Amino acid sequence: MSGVFRVGGDEYDAFMGRYSKVLAPLFADFAGVEAQSRALDVGAVTGALTAELLARGASVAAADTSPEFVAVLSERFPDVDVREAPAESLPFESGDFDIALAQLVVAFMSDAPAAVAEMARVARRVAVCMWGVAEVEMFRAIDATAEAIGVTRGGEPRRYRTSQEVNDLLAPHGEVESAELDVTAAYRDFDEFWEALDHVVGPAGQWLASLDAGQREQAHEELFRQFGSPQGPFELKARAFAAAVTPA
């Protein structure tokens, strides 16, 4: 685990949670989560998906590698069985769950194929999803900005960011069902976007934190331009690639 998301729950929610909250119902629909489903949320972080699963009447357990997020989850969802554990080695018995879901996690795992095999051990069905790169307006604008100011982003995981890669990850376990999940995130204004990016959440936030004062100013100007110089509220679109499998 790269540790790139080791920030507070509120900071995560401001930057990425606003997207994962609206993604969660689409992902749960695609995965086929129903009332009474026994569901495991892998890489749950602040619980955007956990909340959706509970709202559907599923019985939910959650796992994450980050002690900080495990603490946030336990506080937010006192009735959920929250474990500090890697997906590659889940502390559950075989067949404990109807479904194991990993929303926006596989790219950050140290061994995603092993994690998927482990999810398939503990659950009857496995579903994963990851953002695209060019298909996410926020990431596309940050990449274009990095290029424009000559400080490119490096070293971040960009695995499992296409439909093909996500499907291939699940293919060893059976016939893969796939979908594209489109969401929109709303911002009050550009300042709200900038503040969320400035919380140093994930690879994009780390990139901003690596800039010197002059580069920061250039990045601010260029990003504002990339979004069409919004004077008030604006929205950004994002697409996730989802795949699910029910091993025989």
Q: Enumerate binding residues for ligand SAM (CB under 6 A).
A: 1, 5, 16-17, 20, 42-45, 48-49, 63-66, 69, 86-88, 103-105, 108-110, 115
Q: How far is the CB of 205 from ligand SAM (least distance, A)?
A: 12
Inter-residue contact 42 to 61 (CB < 8 Å): no
Q: Which is nearer to ligand SAM, 66 or 167 (CB)?
A: 66
Q: How far is the CB of 48 from ligand SAM (least distance, A)?
A: 4
Inter-residue contact 73 to 47 (CB < 8 Å): yes
In sequence order, which residues have a C-beta less than 8 Å from that of residue 66 and are 6 or more positions away? 1, 5, 6, 45, 84
Q: Which is nearer to ligand SAM, 58 or 149 (CB)?
A: 58
Q: Which is nearer to ligand SAM, 64 or 98 (CB)?
A: 64
Q: How far is the CB of 80 from ligand SAM (least distance, A)?
A: 14
Q: Which is nearer to ligand SAM, 25 or 146 (CB)?
A: 25
Q: Which is nearer to ligand SAM, 3 or 232 (CB)?
A: 3
Q: How far is the CB of 52 from ligand SAM (least distance, A)?
A: 10
Q: Where are the beta strands (DSSP E) in the chain?
A: 38-42, 59-64, 81-84, 97-103, 123-131, 177-187, 234-245
Radius of gyration of the chain measured on its C-alpha atoms: 18
Q: How far is the CB of 217 from ligand SAM (least distance, A)?
A: 28
In sequence order, which residues have a C-beta less than 8 Å from that of residue 189 and are 6 or more positions away? 230, 231, 232, 233, 234
